[in-house]
Structure 1
Amino acid sequence: MSDQAQARAAVVRQKGGPFQIEDVTLEAPRESEVRVRIVATGMCHTDMIVRDQFYAVPLPVVLGHEGAGIVEKVGRGVTKVVPGDHVVIAFAFCGKCDLCTTGHPAYCREFYDRNFGGGRKDGSTATQAQGKPLHDHFFGQSSFSTLAIATERNVVKVRKDVPLELLGPLGCGISTGAGAVLNSMRIPAGSTFAAFGSGAVGLSAIMAARLAGATTIIAVDVKPNRLQLAMALGATHTVNGASEDAVKVIRTATGSRGVDFALESTGNPRILRQAVEALDILGTCGVVGAPPMGTEAAFDVNDLMVPGKRIQGIVEGDSVPDVFIPQLIDLFMQGRFPFDKLVKFYALEQINEAAKDSEKGDTLKPIIRMSRPA
């Protein structure tokens, strides 16, 4: 078909296997779809846990869900964007259920099917390699590719005076951390906050807590370089969990009270328990860390019930991407949300190196720059 397009994509073909760079073919966008020429895509923890099949997305698949690029072609029914627009691609959602229509698209009743189903809602895919279908539409995009098919709903038009290659992580990881603070927990000025895990999500939460006016901001991690960066980005205290008792240090820093708010981003049940134990009376612990399906955590029921503590699950920072992503970009341009300090760039051909560096903790937020298709 003349409307098909050729691209290069990183394909995962087996559980735990490498990303393989392959030539692929994408069909033309359908009625409500948008084809985006990807400039760069952030790499997120979720990409790796799906590669390793912690979440059972069908293989072979093109992953990538923090894409940023330029609109190349739109379906006949699309009015939100036109070719040439700069966009960040966020998560997929139906736009019609009660949760979507009341401002909570991250909790869409079809969220799992649309983001982890390995294709469109009807089961079809847009991508082929060697004449055989590849699973795609991961988070409504599969943007570890020089071209991606998204929907009108999950592309976010952004201003053109910002380096587009920086913006992809706003579609998931950065928005998750910042949104957990600003949208989900709505941390008020003067409050106390602890980030358990100071990776890209935790550090984004620390920057957001400073924006919100939190007066005590505590970063917990086991890597000294991350804790040092946390101080530069707004933390008032740090805890090295490898050598210090996080709960004890946090209680000391807060006059024996504990923190009003905590965010757990490691996916480690033991750390989650610490985050709950570190809360003050009526404190809230937000949970964004993603462990394997079926992971269970333990806590003292009376320590939760008697002080009125809360544990809150959070997806995508409970954001409305069309609103929140442009807000974060404006804050970045004002120098108030310097998320660029978290990133390191890699070429598409270096994607496995980027994954290893991320898993080792050497790189906070890899961004994969896309070469043009051959």
Structure 2
Amino acid sequence: MRISALLSRGSAPSEIVEAELDTPRPDEVIVRIEAVGVCHTDLVTRERLRERPAVLGHEGCGLVERLGSAVDGAVVGDRVVITFASCGGCDQCRAGFPGYCSWSAALNGSGRRLDRSSTLRVREEPVFGAFFGQSSFATAALADARSCVPVGDVPPEVAAPLGCGFLTGAGAVLNVLRPRPGDRLLVVGGGGVGAAAALTALSEDVEVVVAEPVAARRELLATCGAVVVASLDEPVGSVTHALDTTGRPELIARVLGLLQPRGVLALVGLGPAEVPLDVRSLMLRGLQVRGCVEGDAEPSVLIPELVRRHRRGLLPLDRLVTTYPLSDFDRAVADQRAGRTLKPVLLPGP
């Protein structure tokens, strides 16, 4: 199937190219992409691949266009969010934690299927594809049917980030931290993940403090009901729960010092592999530090719940999104880095 795709190659400007998408296997579907979020992981992966040509994108939303012969849970014409890939059969998947799938690295980051076959060709040569089981910076994506979650009539630009970024932030709150009304949550970093976490906690009647250096992000989150500070140098007060989206060791250490006894810190930001911890303080204050991948979520359960909250006006995710044509990827990234945009979402168009 001929499609248009955004081809990345190291630091060179991205370009729209014609690509050949593989025929779906029995358990796969083709989704016509209507919108796709830009996530920090896309940018990190582009740098990691250096000059290797790649089609990235892993927060796709669109209409199911073609079904593999064994697919029975999807319907042509359904609007779906494509989330991360998982095998469905390992212990973690069966327990409802597909983010920790035994085959996660190969399924989401190898650039190919598990059998090493390519899903995308450009100029008749295989390129890095199947990113997070989709590579949705394109007009269409090939995905495993189990990664596709129906979302109904929610605008695709709002639904797309539920595939990863918004899912991670919301899931960290609902599945890992689990604050209750009256608790106080500190979110460090008000980008897409942190903002989604803040809005989700506010929908739970939790007091939320967000530490974010970008003024426009602080202003937006303040209008949504959060208390905002530019940095942890400002008075924050003690908190019962905390979420770090930065991965910065010095911030993680400071957050631990702000937690009340028996407080919980969830980590979703990738930073240095080692962070100095005061183990004595952790023990004597009964603190918990939890890693969190993809919000510890079962996407088929959490994504519909987040859609319901959005429809009821409890989760105004649309306020976090700014749209760009697919061809304006580089401008979208520049705007995000400059703080002009919180969550860029690309629209491939017809």
* Interval containing the TM-score (normalised by the shorter chain): over 0.9
Matches within 5 A, 1:24-63: 24-53=19-48, 59-63=52-56
Q: Secondary structure at the match of 2:186?
A: strand
Q: Secondary structure at the match of 1:280?
A: strand
Q: CA shift at 1:126, angstroms?
A: 1.2
Closer, same or farther in 2 for the Cα pair 1:165/1:228, shift >3 Å? closer
Taking the aligned partners of 1:224 and 1:371, their CA distance within structure 2 comes to: 32
Taking the aligned partners of 1:42 and 1:220, their CA distance within structure 2 comes to: 23
Residue of structure 2 equivalent to 1:316: 294
Whether contact under 8 Å (1:57, 1:116) holds in the other structure is: no
Whether contact under 8 Å (2:222, 2:228) holds in the other structure is: yes
Whether contact under 8 Å (1:57, 1:117) holds in the other structure is: no
| 1:158 maps onto 2:151 in alignment | yes
Measured against aligned partners, the alpha-carbon deviations of 1:327-358 in whole angstroms (never above 9, x if no partner) come to 11111111110000001010011011111112
Measured against aligned partners, the alpha-carbon deviations of 1:99-136 in whole angstroms (never above 9, x if no partner) come to 11011111111111111111111111111011101111
Structure 2: state its 5+ residue gaps.
none
Q: CA shift at 1:165, angstroms?
A: 3.1
Residue of structure 1 equivalent to 2:119: 126
Taking the aligned partners of 2:228 and 2:331, their CA distance within structure 1 comes to: 29
Whether contact under 8 Å (1:206, 1:234) holds in the other structure is: no
Q: CA shift at 1:185, angstroms?
A: 1.5
Q: CA shift at 1:245, angstroms?
A: 1.3
Residue of structure 1 equivalent to 2:99: 106
Taking the aligned partners of 1:289 and 1:77, their CA distance within structure 2 comes to: 37
Q: Secondary structure at the match of 2:157?
A: helix
Residue of structure 1 equivalent to 2:230: 240
Name which of 13, 37, 44 aligns with 1:18: 13
Taking the aligned partners of 2:215 and 2:21, their CA distance within structure 1 comes to: 44
Matched residue pairs, number?
A: 350
Measured against aligned partners, the alpha-carbon deviations of 1:171-225 in whole angstroms (never above 9, x if no partner) come to 11111111100112212222111001111111111111112221x3111011222
Residue of structure 2 equivalent to 1:228: 219
Q: CA shift at 1:90, angstroms?
A: 0.4
| 1:217 maps onto 2:217 in alignment | no
Matches within 5 A, 1:1-374: 5-14=1-10, 16-53=11-48, 59-159=52-152, 161-214=153-206, 216-235=207-226, 237-241=227-231, 245-246=233-234, 249-251=235-237, 258-291=238-271, 295-372=273-350
Closer, same or farther in 2 for the Cα pair 1:57/1:309, shift >3 Å? farther
Whether contact under 8 Å (1:206, 1:233) holds in the other structure is: no
Taking the aligned partners of 2:236 and 2:280, their CA distance within structure 1 comes to: 20
Taking the aligned partners of 1:224 and 1:135, their CA distance within structure 2 comes to: 37
Structure 1: state its 5+ residue gaps.
252-257
Give the aligned CA root-mean-square deviation in angstroms.
1.5
Whether contact under 8 Å (1:192, 1:261) holds in the other structure is: yes
**Counterpart amino acid of 1:238?**
V
Whether contact under 8 Å (1:34, 1:152) holds in the other structure is: yes
Taking the aligned partners of 2:157 and 2:221, their CA distance within structure 1 comes to: 23
Residue of structure 2 equivalent to 1:254: none
Taking the aligned partners of 2:164 and 2:298, their CA distance within structure 1 comes to: 12
**Counterpart amino acid of 2:218?**
L
Taking the aligned partners of 1:19 and 1:278, their CA distance within structure 2 comes to: 42
**What is the aligned-residue identity percentage?**
39
Q: CA shift at 1:36, angstroms?
A: 0.5
